[in-house]
Amino acid sequence: MAALTYQVTNGSDEAADGGADVTIIAAPGSDRVLRVLSGHVTVHVAAAGGGGKVALEDGVGGTRIFEADADAVGHYIINFEPRGYPLTANTLLNLTVDGAATTQATATATLTAYIA
């Protein structure tokens, strides 16, 4: 049996108050699926006013595949290996900071995925 070969991709960006949604890994194209493998999310500046969240989403405003409290500085390890977490076909991986009563957090994410 022949082994399957997948294209590996990665991305990194920062989401901050005023620009709360950023693409970490772009959509792979028609009928292609990103399978998120691993990486990390770091909250560098805590949200103000309570209720702050940092999340990875299956597309902007889509299903949250990871969410954490952003009211304090923190570092979170993401690991969906070996199979990866499948996103919706032709959909990007989004990082968002939201929910804070006054000022949103600042967070970065660096993740690796493969395209199936």
Q: Does residue 102 lie in a domain region?
A: yes
Q: Are 52 and 100 in contact (CB under 8 A)?
A: yes
Distance from C-alpha of 41 to C-alpha of 2, rounded to nearest angstrom? 35
Q: Does residue 69 lie in a domain region?
A: yes
- The string of pLDDT tens digits covering residues 78-90 is 999 989 999 999 9
CATH of the domain at 27: 2.60.120.340
Q: Which range marks the domain in which residue 68 is found? A: 7-115
20 φ, ψ to 5°? -70, -15
pLDDT band for position 4 (cuts 50, 70, 90)? low
Q: Does residue 2 lie in a domain region?
A: no
- The total of structural domains in the chain comes to 1
Q: Does residue 64 lie in a domain region?
A: yes
Q: Does residue 58 lie in a domain region?
A: yes
Return the C-alpha torsion angle 51, 55, 58, 62, nearest 10.
10
State the average pLDDT over residues 89-93. Answer: 95
- The string of pLDDT tens digits covering residues 11-43 is 999 999 866 789 999 999 888 999 999 999 999
Instruction: Output the pTM of the full model.
Output: 0.91
Instruction: Please give the full DSSP string across 94-114, using - where no structure is assigned.
Output: EEEEE--SSB--EEEEEEEEE
Q: Does residue 26 lie in a domain region?
A: yes
Return the structure tokens found at 71.
């009211």
Q: Does residue 1 lie in a domain region?
A: no
